[in-house]
Amino acid sequence: MSILELENVTKAFDGVLAVDKLSLGFDEAKITALIGPNGAGKTTIFNLICGLIRPDSGAISYRTKNITGLAPWHVAQQGIGRLFQDVRLFERLTVNDNILAAFKNQTGENAFLSVVVPWKVVREERSFLERALQLLEFVGLADKANDLAENLSYGQQKLLSIARLLALDADVLLIDEPTAGVNPTMVASLLEFIRRLAKEGKTIVVIEHNMNVVVEIADWVCFMNQGQVESFGLPNEVLGDPEVRAAYIGL
Amino acid sequence: MNYLLHILTMINIYVILVLSLNLLVGYVGLLSLSHAAFYGIGAYISTLLIMKLGLGFLPALLLAVVGTVLLSYTISLPSLRLRGDYFVLASLGFQIIVFTILYNWIDLTRGPYGIPGIPRPIFFGIEINSIGSYFLFSGVIAAICTGLLYLIGNSPFGRVLKAIREDEIAAAALGKNIVRLKINAFAIAAGFAAAPGALFAGYLRYIDPTSFTVMESVFILSIIIIGGAGNISGPIVGTVLMIFLPEVLRFIGLPDAVAANMRQIIYGLLIILIMRYRPQGLSGEYRFE
């Protein structure tokens, strides 16, 4: 059952079609991998779903609600989270503050209330801090809680961006190249971790270039080329397709 | 002694002004050149309410804050969707418009003639009539404003503003309504700029538009750049230094004609040196890039 659906979505940049009448659905609590050569339109799809760009035509719906053209913050509040390829941390904030900023429904984000009912904000903050620490322990960054995010190694930044995404507590996670730039020992635990999220009911869409990773974690694979879905199915089916192998993997 | 109390009173007034601008510069990362406009709007609204409607100082101050907040939306609603440099230019435009209105709406503001004879604040029958008592009075208001701005800056609201400063797209992807948060920050900064406007008018008992020019906006901004942004201590250090500095220069014994020019040169040099060697300012948290 698709929880997130694109229907006949088209997007062109300066006349060049990045996404071409594409229809695609993502199953709840499953991991769908988007694969395809550079320029196939994978990241554009993420940007379309997140509301960073608007489709020229077509519709995007989430839990049968039309979310086409909603502002990015609004899409995120519906329960769709995004892990950026280039991490996009709040670099000059501490590791802890990166997580804390991500929690939803914070009374203290209203400046007026933060002055009028400071005790309520403090109480809330205490429970957010606890959850932040849990998330940091989860990704192994608890001892870095007070470091500035910009001082972490790239691998650690990636982990922090994942922890931050989890703080949002979204139901759908759009993950752009989770393993790029992460050292091999960490990749295994990262994948384990993504699988676990799917088991807990998160719907995961992942853009991934490493075919071993795709085979290992994906429930569904979607092969894209030139803005269209060329092939969609089980990992072995899609990756076994001679056309896909020829066009993409070069085998 | 009166001389020192005068300087300290000016520091009280400027501390509020600079700390309120800090909410935009140091937290949201917006360079705004319209702060003297809000300072001026606050001064004029409170003065007109006191002189034309006979309001007391405190109600006039509070209404000036409310009025300035409302006026802030006329610039923030259209321009806070603009990014970076474009916002700086929009704020400059607003500053120029406000000055022009203050200067030319003679029926209301008396324009270049200014408004003299502003009555001294009176509290519970006690007139704030000495420089010492005005220092205390402005000090209490400055302390309250500093406390509130400290609370706001260290609240989750302050944190999410900093997140926006660092990466708007990432903050939006976490469900933060960037435009609304920025508009709120702008309104708060404008409201807190109105309070020192009222204090300034009540202190000098005379206002005219030349106190609220673009140069004043630049001066307020340069205090932040020199002192530092993104926390409470940077703006306070900057204010104390920049208000005391010209007085110190006066004591060096330069002739008055030279001293004024020297002051500008020293301000300029200070900014260049800080940008080069200490981009976070003397005591700030946020590094300008």
Q: Are B156 and A164 inside 8 Å of each other by CB?
A: no
Given a cut of 90, whether residue B282 has pLDDT beyond it is no
Place of tokens 């939803």: A104
**DSSP strand pairing (A203-207 vs A172-176):** parallel
Task: Give, as one character, the DSSP assignment of residue B24.
Answer: I
Residue B215, SS3? helix
Sorted by sequence, the CB contacts under 8 Å of residue B214 that are 6+ apart come out as B33, B36, B92, B95, B96, B99
> Residue A110's closest chain B neighbor by CA?
B157
The answer to whether the CB of B65 falls within 8 A of the CB of B195 is yes
Query: How close B162 gets to chain A, by Cα (Å)?
Result: 8
**Among A86-95, A143-152, B123-132, B250-259, whose mean pLDDT is lowest?**
B250-259
Residue numbers in A near B156 (CB within 8 A) = 100-101, 106-109, 114, 121, 125
Place of tokens 């008992």: B205
Q: What is the pTM of this model?
A: 0.90
Kindly indicate the confidence band of residue A38, based on its pLDDT and cuts at 50, 70 and 90. confident
The 10s digit of each residue's pLDDT in B202-226 is 999 999 999 999 999 999 999 999 9
**Among A91-100, B33-42, B274-283, whose mean pLDDT is lowest?**
B274-283
CA A24 – CA A4 distance, rounded (Å): 8
Q: Are B157 and A110 inside 8 Å of each other by CB?
A: yes
The domain locations on chain B are: 2-212
Give me the pLDDT at residue A138, please.
87
Cβ-nearest to A111 among B152, B176, B177: B152
H helices, E strands: number in chain B: 12, 4
Region of residue B73 (phi > 0: left; psi between -120 and 50: alpha; otherwise: beta): alpha
Each as own residue / partner, the long-range contacts of residues B85-93 (CB below 8 Å, 24 or more positions apart, any chain) are B87/B30, B87/B31, B87/B32, B88/B31, B88/B32, B88/B33, B91/B31, B91/B32, B91/B33, B91/B34, B92/B33, B92/B34, B92/B214
The answer to whether the CB of B45 falls within 8 A of the CB of B56 is no
Given a cut of 70, whether residue B70 has pLDDT beyond it is yes
% of chain A residues with pLDDT over 70: 98
Query: How close A237 gets to chain B, by Cα (Å)?
Result: 34
Query: How close A17 gets to chain B, by Cα (Å)?
Result: 24
Cβ-nearest to B174 among A102, A107, A121: A102
Residue numbers in B near A90 (CB within 8 A) = 162-163, 166-167, 170-171
Mean pLDDT score across all residues of chain A: 90
- The DSSP string of A9-21 is EEEEETTEEEEEE
Cβ-nearest to A73 among B151, B167, B175: B175
CB of A81 within 8 Å of a chain B CB? The answer is yes
Task: Give, as one character, the DSSP assignment of residue B121.
Answer: P
Residue numbers in B near A167 (CB within 8 A) = 174
The 10s digit of each residue's pLDDT in A184-206 is 888 888 888 899 999 999 999 99
Q: What is the ipTM of this complex?
A: 0.90
- Cα–chain center distance at A97: 20
- The DSSP string of A194-241 is HHHHHHTT-EEEEE---HHHHHHH-SEEEEEETTEEEEEE-HHHHHH-
CA A205 – CA A176 distance, rounded (Å): 8
Residue numbers in A near B159 (CB within 8 A) = 93, 97, 100-101
The 10s digit of each residue's pLDDT in B153-165 is 999 999 999 999 9
Give me the pLDDT at residue A248, please.
67
- Tell which residue, A209, A164, A203, has the closest CA to residue A182: A209
The 10s digit of each residue's pLDDT in B31-43 is 899 999 999 999 9
% of chain A residues with pLDDT over 90: 66
Given a cut of 60, whether residue B112 has pLDDT beyond it is yes
Given a cut of 60, whether residue A251 has pLDDT beyond it is no
- Tell which residue, A12, A26, A9, has the closest CA to residue A220: A26
Given a cut of 60, whether residue A127 has pLDDT beyond it is yes
Residue A4, SS3? strand
Average pLDDT, stretch A137-143?
89
Given a cut of 60, whether residue B1 has pLDDT beyond it is yes
Q: Which fold has domain A1-79+171-251?
A: Rossmann fold (3.40.50)
Give me the pLDDT at residue B284, please.
83
Bridge partners of residue A222, in order along the sequence: A34, A232
Cβ-nearest to B163 among A93, A107, A118: A93
Query: How close B15 gets to chain A, by Cα (Å)?
Result: 20
Mutation for testing the B interface, residue in A43, A87, A90 having most B CBs under 10 Å: A90
Sorted by sequence, the CB contacts under 8 Å of residue B70 that are 6+ apart come out as none
CB of A77 within 8 Å of a chain B CB? The answer is yes
CA A1 – CA B78 distance, rounded (Å): 43
CB of A82 within 8 Å of a chain B CB? The answer is yes
Give me the pLDDT at residue A249, please.
58
The domain locations on chain A are: 1-79+171-251, 93-169
Secondary structure element (H or E) that encloses residue A144, with its range: none
